[in-house]
Amino acid sequence: MTGPEQDHWLSRPETVRRIWLTFGVLLALTVLAEVVIDIEGYFGIDGWFGFGAAFGFGTCVIMVFGAKLLGLVLKRPDDYYHD
Amino acid sequence: MTDLVVYPALVLAAGAILVALTRGPVRDAVLLGTPLATLYFIWQVPDGVAATAYFLGYTIEPLEGSAVRRLFATIFAFMAFAGSLFAFRQAKWYELSAAMLYASGAVGVSFAGDLITLFIYWELMAIFSTVVVWCGDRERAHQAGIRYAAIHLAGGVILKVGIEGIMVHTGSIDVQPLALDNFDTWMVLIGVLINAAAPPLSAWLSDAYPRSSPTGSVFLSAFTTKTAILALILLFPGAGVLVPIGLVMIFYGIVYALLENDVRRILAYSIVNQVGFMVCAVGIGTDMAINGAAAHAFAHIVYKALLFMSAGVVVYRTGKNLCTEVGGLYRTMPITTICGIIGALSISSFPLTSGFTTKSLISEAAHLEHLTAVYFLLAAASAGVFLHAGIKFPWFVFFQRDSGLRPQDAPWNMSVAMILMSAVCIGLGVFPEPLYQLLPYPVDYEAYKASKVLFYLQLLLFSGLAFFVLLPWMQRTLTITLDVDWIWRRGLPQAWARGCRLADAGFNALGRTVGALSGRVINHIEWLLSPIGLLGRSWEIGTTALWVAVLLAVYVVAYLL
């Protein structure tokens, strides 16, 4: 194991900070781009400003929590079947 | 005409036998050369029935060509090549030979013009895919292989019942669209859906594939479920029931993959998810939807194999299977990481990858048919795919935390195979036209409209944000998630054991009661017959005479009455 400064450049805190910053800017740009590029909604609602972003985020939250709830019932230790 | 046609499936089968008989460079040449030769012969198969034969009193059509059949056969043969390239220096010869026979079955199904031929190749696939599962080198692979074989043999029996019913009731054995209006066609549909890993029998896939060898899972990911999709396209295009079945598969795959810890099982669940998109498309059934199902199957085979290759390299190099055991591997495995990310972006339908240019055909078909709910569910599922496969897989395997593992990157042949598959993923994403040309119906579709690209970028990038925001809820645990296979892996054995215990207890209680009762009866009889008992003791002559008189009196009275 090496210290953070000697480790791979991708794992340095400075790089991680830059990656997060770039990601944030990209997120903002994809929404702001709608000012220039009109998203033609097929069904009305999907043409709303930022709909893709909200729908993507919202459905993922639902799926993760749905999975967690199901996990409460269906999760077992990984040696459950004794294999 | 029959004499002039070479059966592509038999070329692969011959190659598989040669693989078993040869060694060293000759075997390597056979392994890599046979799929390429098969590809050549696939493209020599003309449209329509190219060969007929007599079998069990029926005229069978073992070779029937069409655009969609050649498309599937092409990708199967290509996969046999890429899989062999990935595996030829690491896998055992019998795994490679079995994998080639398995691919031969898939190519045979692709060109089957009748249901008998289809069934024979179907079973060939079941047998040799089981052998591939068994080539995983632990006891767990053997057990999973037995369960896998049992499900596929049961599916084969159901399919056979349907096929025989159709033969008897219609007299036709042609592979052609079937109406779901009788028992026979429903049996065929169920038999095919079992191979497509449709619920409730999806668990065979996530049970068996992660237990195979690091190279075996690459082959397994390609053939069985996709031949089922081709069979659905040929036999049940537009069957409405497939739309809800496909949607259930899509969300089942996402939810189970989100809960999973085993790296290759995440990918296995994601096969069910992706095949769900195709099943749904076949159910929509329009030209655009069938094109979407075929194109998506083609692209999916490539990026899923690529994902299994990168996961296979990790398992091969580290011997670890679980997300909780790996992490931070990008440091020493840059090629595997980059190729894994390309596969992950492709499965997530990121613009400029093959997933975007193929899966969007299915969404477009849903839109054109005004299937609003289906369209939005498919969009939500696209976000979910990015969540469970697009980010989760590379994040937990290659990044996440430093596990301290510093494995070597992939061996050269594995690297070349991964780079080849990555190039195809990006190639089909940037230049989809050559694939569109091969689709069964003319394509009038523009994949890269600014508005569509922007919508998908928003959808995918914000699901990425959701992943990192929700990361504390997504940390992996040493758990599995119960599936329907609980019934035969735990439920039935438990019920049987309980039944046996109950029966044991019942028999014991019955035995004790009967024993006690019979003891008392015997004791009583012994007492009766003993010198002091009622029947055994001596009676005085006067008492005897009195009783005889009483009996005679009763008799006389009874007679007079």
What's residue A8's pLDDT? 79
Can you tell me the distance from the alpha carbon of B9 to that of B110, in angstroms, rounded to the nearest whole number? 9
Residue contact A81–B480, C-beta within 8 A: yes
Give per-residue pLDDT as tens, B476-488: 788 889 888 899 8
pLDDT band at A1 (very low <50, low <70, confident <90, very high): very low
Min Cα–Cα distance to chain A from B360, Å: 13
Identify which of A40, A50, A59 has the shortest CB distance to residue B380.
A59
Using N-to-C axis directions, what is the helix angle for B334-347 and B412-430, rounded to 10°?
30
Scanning A36-55 for CB atoms below 8 A from B yields 37-40, 42-43, 46, 50-55
* pLDDT beyond 70 at B1: no
CA distance A14 to chain B (A): 16
- The mean pLDDT of B356-362, rounded to a whole number, is 94
User: Within chain A, what is the greatest distance between any pair of CA atoms?
Assistant: 58
Q: Around Cβ B433, how many Cβ atoms within 10 Å? A: 10
Residues from chain A that touch B479, judged by Cβ atoms under 8 A, are 71, 75-78
Tell me the pairing of strands A75-77 and B58-65.
unpaired
Q: Does B419 touch chain A (CB under 8 A)?
A: no
Q: Which of residues 136-175 of B touch A (CB under 8 A)?
A: 139-140, 143
- Cβ-based contacts of A81 with chain B (< 8 Å): 480, 489-490
Q: Express each pLDDT in B188-213 by its tens digit.
A: 999 999 999 999 999 999 999 999 99
Q: What is the pLDDT of residues B75-125, one digit of tens each?
A: 999 999 999 999 999 999 999 999 999 999 999 999 999 999 999 999 999
**Interatomic CA distance for residues B260 and A81, integer angstroms:** 16
- Pick from B80, B79, B86: which is nearest to B309 by CA? B86
pLDDT greater than 60 at residue A62: yes
- Is a pLDDT exceeding 70 seen at residue A83? no
Which of these, B350, A27, A76, lies nearest to B358 by C-alpha position?
A: B350
Q: What span, in angstroms and rounded, lies between the C-alpha atoms of B548 and B539? A: 13
| Spatial separation of the C-alpha atoms in residues B495 and B510, rounded to whole Å | 22
What's the mean per-residue pLDDT of chain B? 93
Statement: residue B247 has pLDDT above 90 = yes
How does B314-335 read in b/e, with b if 16+ C-beta sit within 10 Å? bbbbbebbbbbbbbbbbbebeb
Q: Strand, coil or helix: what is A30?
A: helix
Q: Among A57, A61, A69, A76, which would you mutate to test the B interface (most chain B Cβ atoms within 10 Å of its Cβ)?
A: A57
Beta-bridge mates of residue A24: none
C-alpha angle B152-B187-B289 in degrees, rounded to nearest 5: 90
Residue B255: which of A11, A57, A67 has the nearest Cβ? A67
Instruction: Check if A59 contacts B (Cβ < 8 Å).
Output: yes
pLDDT for the residue B2? 46
Between positions 12 and 31 of A, the ones with CB within 8 A of B are 23, 26-27, 30-31
Closest in A26, A42, A75 to B461, CB measured: A26
- With bands split at pLDDT 50, 70 and 90, how would you rate the model's confidence at B262? very high
Examine the pLDDT at B3 and tell me if it is beyond 70. Answer: no
Q: Is the pLDDT of residue A47 over 80?
A: no
Establish if B391 touches chain A: CB-CB under 8 angstroms.
no
What is the 8-class DSSP label of residue B46?
P
Res. A4: pLDDT tops 60: no
**Minimal Cβ distance to A56: which of B259, B451, B458:** B458
**Closest Cβ opposite residue B255 in set A38, A56, A66:** A66
- What pLDDT, in 10s, does the model give residues B47-89? 999 988 998 888 899 999 999 999 999 999 999 999 999 999 9
CB B455 within 8 A of CB A46: yes
CB B340 within 8 A of CB B393: yes
Locate B268 and state its tokens. 């296995």
User: ω before B25 within 30° of 0 (cis)?
Assistant: no
Comparing B24-28, B269-273, B323-327, B428-432, the range with the smallest average pLDDT is: B323-327
| Cα dihedral value B512, B517, B522, B525, nearest 10 | 180
pLDDT of residue A3: 52
Q: What is the pTM of this model?
A: 0.90
Instruction: Say if residue A5's pLDDT is above 60.
Output: no
- Predicted pLDDT of residue A12: 82
pLDDT at position B4, please? 62
Q: Is the peptide bond before B434 cis (omega within 30 degrees of 0)?
A: no
Q: What does the pLDDT read at residue A6? A: 64
The percent of residues in chain A predicted with pLDDT above 90, rounded, is 40
State how far the alpha carbon of B186 is from the alpha carbons of B100, B160, B182, B238, in Å. Answer: 31, 12, 6, 14
**Could you report the per-residue pLDDT of B269-292, keeping only the tens digit for each?**
999 999 999 999 999 999 999 999
Rounded to a whole number, what is the distance in Å from the CA of A26 to chain B's nearest CA? 8
- Say if B387 is an interface residue toward chain A (CB within 8 Å): yes
Tens-place pLDDT, residues B490-535: 899 999 999 999 999 999 999 999 999 999 999 988 888 888 887 7
Q: Choosing among A31, A63, A65, which should be mutated to test the B contact, i.e. which has the most B CBs within 10 A?
A: A63
Percent over 70 (pLDDT), chain B: 99
Residue B54 burial (10 A CB sphere; 0-12, 13-18, 19+): exposed
Choose between B161 and B560: higher pLDDT: B161
Prediction ipTM score: 0.90
The more confidently predicted of residues B475 and A32 is A32
For residue B527, the model assigns a pLDDT of 87
User: Do the chains contact at B387 and A63, CB–CB below 8 Å?
Assistant: yes
- Residue matched to tokens 């598959």: B421
User: Which chain B residues touch A80 with a CB distance below 8 Å?
Assistant: 480, 482, 490
How is chain B split among helix, strand and coil, in percent rounded to 5?
A: 75, 5, 25
